[in-house]
Amino acid sequence: MAIEAVIFDFIGTLATVERYAYETSVKKMYESLRDVGFNMEYEHFTQAYERAHQKYRTIRYEELVEVTNTVWLSEALNSLGFATNPDEENVKEAINIFFKDYIQSLRRRNCATRTLKTLLERGYALGLISNFTYAPVIYAGLQKLNLNQYFNAILVSEDVGWRKPHPRIFKEALKRLDKKAKQTVFLGDSPVEDIQGAKDVGMRTVFIPSQFFTVEDIQKASQRPDVVLNELCKLPEILSSIY
């Protein structure tokens, strides 16, 4: 069955993260909370935030259920004696401040724009699936890099509720693109989240090494991709050979 659709991962696959400092983002988030009346020591806040982060990280990675940052930030604040909820504006604004530098750190990977444009011109349906705890970051990142215009469907795990490699997020993407799994190639850099997840629902897969995963990582993985690609530029030319 000929390939009619290509679905991409985002961070690592189409975009790189350059000169980002997590600790700086945490400090800015803390300062924004202090500015609106959350009186607490920085050390106490970071310890509470990390405890909540690790708690929900376990849930996210073991159950493949997405939990957004506002949930664990609110829980961290409540453990310090405050009364908050994840929908509070102060909590949301603190998370927006936390991710501001991250969005600015995103850069297009070499050939990303050219590859997407070529595929669209050749009639492929294009989708994107991103595991991310705060969906506005992905939408803002795509807009910043001027990539959002190329996709027929964009799915972020926070919106869908399920994380790759859970089959539900892949099946939802196929539904939105109105394509069968055998008509679709998934391109990503994570051996488990991208390659294993897409393979499990019947998609063809292309692995591309990134700043996060190497060729050695995919060679050690239980699921092998149909193709290992070193450069995005080569994707349009190899699609016709994938069946």
Determine the average pLDDT of the residues in 92-120.
98
What integer pLDDT is reported at residue 242 of this predicted model?
84
Using pLDDT thresholds of 50, 70 and 90, give the confidence band for residue 178: very high
* 193/63 Cα distance (integer angstroms): 13
Q: What is the mean pLDDT of the chain?
A: 96
Residue that has been written with the tokens 């189409």 in this structure: 14
What integer pLDDT is reported at residue 33 of this predicted model?
98
Amino acid at 206: V
- Sequence spans of domains, the chain: 5-16+108-241, 22-104
Check: CB of residue 31 under 8 Å from CB of residue 152. Answer: no
* CATH, range 5-16+108-241: 3.40.50.1000
Rg of the chain over CA atoms, in angstroms? 19
Determine the average pLDDT of the residues in 219-239.
93
Check: CB of residue 200 under 8 Å from CB of residue 181. Answer: no
What integer pLDDT is reported at residue 184 of this predicted model?
98
Write the CA distances from 131 to 58, 145, 154, 176, 231, integer angstroms. Answer: 15, 18, 11, 17, 22
Using pLDDT thresholds of 50, 70 and 90, give the confidence band for residue 222: confident
At 144-176, the pLDDT tens digits run 999 999 999 999 999 999 999 999 999 999 999
Rounded percentage of the chain residues whose pLDDT exceeds 70? 100
Check: CB of residue 184 under 8 Å from CB of residue 174. Answer: yes
